[in-house]
Amino acid sequence: MADIEGEPVLQLEGLARHYDERDALCDVSLSLSAGQTLVVFGPNGAGKTTLLRVLATLLRPHAGDVRVLGSSLPDEAWAVRGRVGLLGHEPLLYRELTARENLRFHARLHGVGADRVEELLATVALSERADEPLKTLSRGMVQRAAVARATLHDPELLLLDEPRANLDPAASELVEPLIGAGSGPSGLRTRVISSHDPAGGLREADIVLGLRDGRPVLLRDAGDVGPDEIVELYR
Amino acid sequence: MRKPPGLWATVGALLRKELLVELRTLESVPGMSLFAVTTFVVFHFALNQNTVSGDEAAGILWVTLLFAAMLGVNRLFVADQDQGGFDAFLLAPVDRTAMLLAKALALFAYLAVLELVAVPAFGLLLLGPPLHQSMPDLLVVLVLADIGIAAIGTLVAALAVQTRARDLLGPLLALPLLVPVVIGAARASSPLLVFTHPAGSQVRWLATLALYDLVFGLIAYAVFDFLLED
């Protein structure tokens, strides 16, 4: 495992990805150690979601060296799957199925027991509504179910795309033990978070990456970055 | 590290999910069945004859089943594409062939239910000769044809669903590939749909169907992974 051997969990060198002629990511280089949190800021279309999807092995990098959890992408993507949790804009859950059915389905795909599903339903306070189809639940409830889905298999690397977008403050607190700093069985879960919230994002970050038009325009330790610099990214 | 689930455990999980979603939405099977029965009624009036038999009956039966199957093929991956099921599956440490097998088995099950409704309806509305005598042999033809439709349909649906014109592209790709299945199935069932005692379906056509099933099963197995890749 990458963290045990001292190898960074993420090691990117000149990562590029394009859609047809448009560069979605260009020359992104960074390193992230086990237990650290990278927060990615940038306006809409800056490449944040593309970066998360490349790290999740859902998109192939078109150039550069990309190592995730010690494995090179895209050639060793098979070794990364199951060790990464992705919480994106879509919950990746079936609307017609209940929260319990959805989570049990994902549990089977990851070789996780049904008891873990019940534990997570209780953690995100969905036990009482767990047998109702997802399409009847509020967006916040669906987001809580999606958090449970993303953390079901205790991933070593958590990729979070605006994770609290649909959550009220109480719901944010509920999911904190699952996706917050120090979450995970060892308390050393590595996270990459995309955010539009300068103050909240900086609180969580160890390293800050600012993207604009797919290019890194800011990469520094969070302690050296002020909220004004983040706000400037959006101008 | 946690042990990833085996191929058949994954197929089981996917198939169970597939059937559960269909039971909740009723998006495929009822539409397919209703289409088939309606088509038989239309044929009943359009042909201006009370009953059909032989080649004519086999042609009507298989063309109707084929077009009804297209409705199911077109819907096969829509929920996965629209609700992120593909991504969720690709994030899991499982053999991707499991999705091909689960989808093909689900489509096979939809076709079996369709035929449970459509074949008796065909017997009642159009077919002259009694159906019960030829049923065991016809069942063999139905199973072999359904395997072919399920393999080709799953492959084509996975390809079409990733395009904007998926509703058009699915049938455009699938129908030419399924013509040999319809020819084989119609030729094999034609001798079963006559007034004289069923002479048994033609072995040559059954063998052709089985061979076509095998070839397309192997092609689907070989290329399916690439269809899921970015």
Tell me the C-alpha distance between B115 and B196, whole Å.
Answer: 24
Query: Measuring CA to CA, which residue among A34, A35, A66 is closest to residue A53?
Result: A66
User: Are the C-beta atoms of A155 and A166 separated by less than 8 Å?
Assistant: no
pLDDT exceeds cutoff 50 at A148: yes
Helix, strand, or coil (residue B34): helix
- Which of B3, B82, B91, B228 is the best residue to mutate to test the A interface, defined by the most A CB atoms within 10 Å of its own CB? B91
Which value does ipTM take for this structure?
0.89
Best probe of the B interface among A84, A94, A149, by most B CBs < 10 A, is A94
Beta bridge partners of A98: A133
- Of A199, A191, A196, the C-alpha closest to A52 is A191
How far does A68 lie from chain B, in Å, by closest CA?
14
List of chain B residues whose C-beta atoms are within 8 Å of the C-beta of residue A146: none
Q: Are B144 and B210 in contact (CB under 8 A)?
A: yes
Q: Which of B24, B91, B93 sits opposite A96 (nearest CB)?
A: B24
Tokens, residue A175: 């999911």
d(CA A190, CA B187): 62
User: Which among B83, B94, B229 has the least Cβ separation from residue A94?
Assistant: B83
Query: What is the CA B75 to chain-centroid distance, rounded?
Result: 12
Check A81 against B13: CB less than 8 A apart: no
Average confidence (pLDDT) over B69-82: 93
Q: Which residues of B touch A (CB under 8 A)?
A: 1-5, 9-10, 12-13, 16-17, 20-21, 24-25, 79, 83-85, 87-94, 229-230
For B86, nearest residue in chain A (alpha carbons)? A92
User: How far is Cα A164 from Cα A173, in angstroms, rounded to an integer?
Assistant: 10
Give the tens place of pLDDT for each residue, A4-13.
456 899 999 9
3-state secondary structure of B195: coil
Chosen for mutation from A20, A109, A156 (greatest number of chain B CBs closer than 10 Å) is: A109
Copy the structure tokens of residue B99: 């999705």
Whole-angstrom Cα distance, residue A221 to residue A208?
A: 6
| C-alpha distance from B145 to closest chain A C-alpha (Å) | 31
Residue A144 has pLDDT above 80, yes or no: yes
From B25, B93, B229, residue closest to A96, measured CB to CB? B25
Residue A233 has pLDDT above 90, yes or no: no
Chain A residue numbers with beta carbons less than 8 Å from the beta carbon of B2 are 82, 110-112, 153
Per the listing, tokens 């983040």 go with A230
Q: Does this model's pTM top 0.95?
A: no
CA-to-CA distance for B138 and A136, rounded, in angstroms? 44
A-B contacts at Cβ under 8 angstroms: 90
Min Cα–Cα distance to chain B from A110, Å = 6
User: Residue A64 and residue A155: Cα distance in Å, rounded?
Assistant: 25
Q: Could you tell me the end-to-end alpha-carbon distance of chain A, in angstroms, rounded to an integer?
A: 41
Whether the CB-CB separation of B228 and B189 falls below 8 Å is answered with: no
How many angstroms separate the CA atoms of B210 and B133, rounded?
A: 23
Average pLDDT over residues A87-108: 96
Mark out the alpha helices in chain B (DSSP H runs): 7-25, 29-46, 54-75, 78-82, 85-91, 97-125, 135-160, 166-189, 203-228
Q: How far apart are the C-alpha atoms of A214 and B25, rounded to whole Å? A: 40
The reported pLDDT for the residue numbered A11 is: 96
pLDDT, tens digit, for every residue of B167-224? 889 999 999 999 999 999 999 999 998 887 655 558 899 999 999 999 999 999 999 9
> Do A109 and B10 make contact, defined as CB atoms within 8 angstroms?
yes
* Interchain contact, A60 vs B229, CB within 8 Å: yes
Q: What is the DSSP string of chain A?
A: -TTTTT--SEEEEEEEEEETTEEEEEEEEEEE-TT-EEEEE--TTSSHHHHHHHHTTSS--SEEEEEETTEEETTTHHHHTTSEEEE-SS----TTSBHHHHHHHHHHHTT--HHHHHHHHHHTT-GGGTTSBGGGS-HHHHHHHHHHHHHTT--SEEEEESTTTT--HHHHHHHHHHHSTT-STTS--EEEEE-S-HHHHHHH-SEEEEEETTEEEEEEEGGG--HHHHHHHT-
Chain B residues with CB-CB distance to A106 below 8 A:
88, 92
Look at residue A221 and tell me whether its pLDDT is greater than 70: yes
Q: For residue range B27-72, what is the model confidence (pLDDT) as tens digits?
A: 999 999 999 999 999 999 998 888 899 999 999 999 999 999 999 9
Closest chain A residue by Cα to residue B228: A58
Residue of A nearest to B7 (CA): A109
- CB distance A108–B9 less than 8 Å? yes
The whole-angstrom separation of Cα A177 and Cα B4 is 25
pLDDT higher than 70, residue A86:
yes
Chain B nearest C-alpha distance from A223 (Å): 33
* Rg of chain A taking only CA atoms, in angstroms: 17
* pLDDT, tens digit (0-9, with 9 covering 90-100), for B102-142: 999 999 999 999 999 999 999 999 998 888 888 999 999 99
